[in-house]
Structure 1
């Protein structure tokens, strides 16, 4: 019995020694492997984060659900989410028809990318589509928190750079490359600075822009009768001097500016009937632009704030808004052809330049072609997932005044 116990103890000791040696050997081999891959055990939190970033990069754990990939940019602070993949085929024989199709059949994807948790209240997006125009390099559909726009200048500036960088234009030209972008409002020609393989500033020539109506009186809730101008720059805007509401576009609270502009938008929508000479799809008020009232020609910047869609605040000076404002100033005789004005965002201080470069017609309206210039920058690249069992996978939109959207 004693021998049995001693032998058992001895055997257990040798087993323990063997196990210890085995563990040491395994640890050594794992260390060698980590050394070869550069993913060793980290000693500091910073090292761990770097290791996880290197190993995982953009990989996601196993999941069930669709993925969407995007490139995020901004122009003067106004975001643009360019959709790379994840959308099914967009049907339609024209860009305007495709706009109707996504609104009727694919709007859940707009909400997924524009709304939280992937976006935010003031997110803006662009979906690249095929154009029916042979001269177009690309077609585009614009989207925001309310739906789909017909024109967006800040997006055109960003897309011009994007198109060159992502090889949508096959042979970039030195100094400046032309990119023909088919927007729902028509063909817009963008010109992208290009040198040494790098893109820079962008200017574009607008569709025909015109003053629709001036000195129109509307009754605005909370403010009484207000005189507005309405002008078209690829989309229709109402223009009002912010001083009419006791506000300053560069100093007043954003909430107060939004409330005043939204009240004007609601009044114009209910009291003024808009029409566009070429398409009923273009005959809607996109938003209201509050200005500093400095409409006479000057080399000094003039500031404005654009509130569009569902009380969305543009961080940039608003490219199509600059177009419409230049057309309005030209109509009133306040500026001449090729007189460049600088337009400043009351929200961020970012600037565009704009000038009327050519007289033209849009139906019976006397119109001008406007050149707008600015800079766009990259923010990042993202892959988003819509997990099948996520109740909020299609997004939600919080409204500070209530009426949240899901």
Structure 2
């Protein structure tokens, strides 16, 4: 489960703020959560959006100010564009040792609102498919442990490990390339993102940008998840990079969301296991 505590905005420039949480604590960013909050804000009347056209739901998150640009038809959101903070590669070709297999892997670090280690899944001899999920969880934990403090970036620790498969390229009508990849993101302490991971998609854009495969309004990434849902992502514009040898950009990630229900949780301080338990 992934959730968020809604907070007041930092200033009137945003509709509200959010603190994202999961079973292992809090996270600095969540792209699919931002998309979901855009849908929620429209459906619940938190913001006043037009019946048709676009509307920016501006949200303050720990990594900065982001927006879910909602595209509406007859009052209903059709899809949302997640406009993220500046994203960029941090380092390239870090060597990590995997004790369980005695393998040496090469990973890239990138920032997309959170820090991710990314690598092609063929390095570990696996395809990004549901049947391999437990092996990816194990490897994700080993990679994070092997990276240790090398993956620390300012106030950020390594949040997740992204394993990706290359699935080819295709041309659009405008002759831009669509780069197709499928990924599985292992985040926190061995959790799997069922979505293509919004902030992780921005991290992948940053690596592709550094490789010269993408640029502002040049080519796109179709990013599929381990369960085959997909985001379409592109670079909107260049941004100032804090890492001199790698470019930075403002990314846009397009996806959809639905409202599934309403739940209420109760906490009783008198409960024997208050405030909860965690099994690893």
Would you call these one fold, judging by a TM-score over 0.5? yes
Structure number with larger C-alpha Rg: 1
Q: Structure 1: which 5+ runs fail to align?
A: 1-122, 400-406
1:333 paired with 2:206, answer no
Cα offset, 1:154, TM superposition: 0.5
Superposition deviation, residue 364 in structure 1: 4.4
CA apart distance, 1:218: 2.1
Q: For residue 395 of structure 1, report the CA deviation from its aligned partner.
A: 3.2
Q: Measured at CA, do residues 200 and 391 of structure 1 come closer, stay the same or move farther in structure 2, by a change above 3 Å?
A: farther
Q: CA offset at residue 238 of structure 1?
A: 0.1
* Alpha-carbon spacing, 1:388–1:285, altered in 2? closer, same or farther (3 Å): closer
Once the two structures are TM-superposed, the CA of residue 224 in structure 1 deviates from its matched residue by 3.2
Residue of structure 2 in register with 1:290 after alignment: 163
Can you list the C-alpha shifts for 1:295-342, whole angstroms capped at 9, x where unaligned? 878536310000000111000000000001011101111223221221
Q: CA deviation at 1:135?
A: 0.8
Residues 1:306 and 2:179 are matched in the alignment: no
1:260 aligns with 2:139: yes
Counterpart of 1:324?
A: 203
User: In 1, are the aligned partners of 2:140 and 2:161 still within 8 Å (CA)?
Assistant: yes
The structure with more helix, counted as a fraction of residues:
1
What is the SS of the residue equivalent to 2:203?
helix
Deviation at 1:194, TM superposition (A): 1.9
CA-to-aligned-CA distance 1:223-256 (integer Å, 9 cap, x gap): 4321100000000000011111111112542111
How much does 1:137 deviate? 0.9
Does residue 356 (structure 1) correspond to residue 246 (structure 2)? The answer is no
> Within the alignment, does 1:376 sit opposite 2:253 as a pair?
no
Contact 1:164 1:172 in 2 (8 A): no
Aligned residue in 2 for 1:205: 83
Long gaps (5+) in structure 2: 171-176
Q: Give runs of aligned pairs for residues 8-87 of structure 1, distance below 5 A.
A: none
- Counterpart for residue 224 of structure 2: 344
8 Å Cα contact 2:54-2:69 kept in structure 1? yes
Aligned length in residues: 270
- Counterpart contact for 2:51–2:74, Cα < 8 Å: no
CA drift at 1:396: 3.1
What SS does the corresponding residue of 2:178 show, helix, strand or coil?
Answer: coil
| 1:380 aligned counterpart, secondary structure | coil
1:164 equivalent among 27, 42, 50: 42
**Residue 60 of structure 2 aligns to a residue in which SS?**
strand
Contact 1:296/1:334, CA 8 A, preserved across alignment: no
Aligned alpha-carbon RMSD (Å): 2.0
- 1:220 and 2:93 correspond: no
Match of 1:390 in 2: 271
Tell me whether 1:367 sits opposite 2:248 in the alignment: yes
Give the direction of change, closer, same or farther, for the CA distance of 1:326–1:296 in structure 2 (3 Å limit): farther
Q: Deviations over 1:186-208 (max 9, x none)?
A: 11121112222222311121100
CA distance, structure 1, for counterparts of residue 214 and residue 266 of structure 2 = 50
Query: Which residue of the partner structure matches residue 174 of structure 1?
Result: 52
Q: Deviations over 1:33-52 (max 9, x none)?
A: xxxxxxxxxxxxxxxxxxxx
